[in-house]
Amino acid sequence: MSATNNERPVSVKLQTTIHQDGYKETFTFTETGTLVEMNGTAYLRYTEHQAGFETPVTFKVRPDGEVSLKRSGESATHLRFMANQTIPTRYTTVQGSMLLDVQTTTLSANVADSFDSGIVEIAYSLLTGETVLGDYTLRLEFNVN
């Protein structure tokens, strides 16, 4: 998508907590990015900086409550979240790709009517077959600068 006249700079804060194999790990990112509103859908883009790597990230928040997360780079993920639903996805790495299920247990997506701020909170599990690979919570906050 090319730049549009409604593209605005935003501050982004993302906190992700992972529960996996009895361990808990929390990551927090504070980045700058852009926000575009098209037909009631918010598109939030930024680049995550971690351990010398840059990962382009796009969140899409639709008016019907569906949220998607797309991460590009050496690993590519496109996760779709809908409350109390399980949605299949493909996780791609340099070693190959695998099919996963994204099981969303809770989802709250609140974007201001003016599209100048928002908070998205998601709790979900990643599964392969019946095996839970990990349980995740995600909190995304953004504000137009």
Higher pLDDT, 82 or 1: 82
Number of H helices, E strands in the chain: 0, 10
DSSP bridge partners of 88: 101
Segment 93-128, tens digit of pLDDT:
888 898 999 999 999 999 999 899 999 999 999 999
HSE-up (13 A, CA, CB side) for residue 70: 8
| Segment 35-39 mean pLDDT | 94
Alpha carbons 108 and 119: distance in angstroms, whole number: 8
3-state SS, residue 46: strand
Quickly state the pLDDT bin for 3 (edges 50, 70, 90). Answer: very low
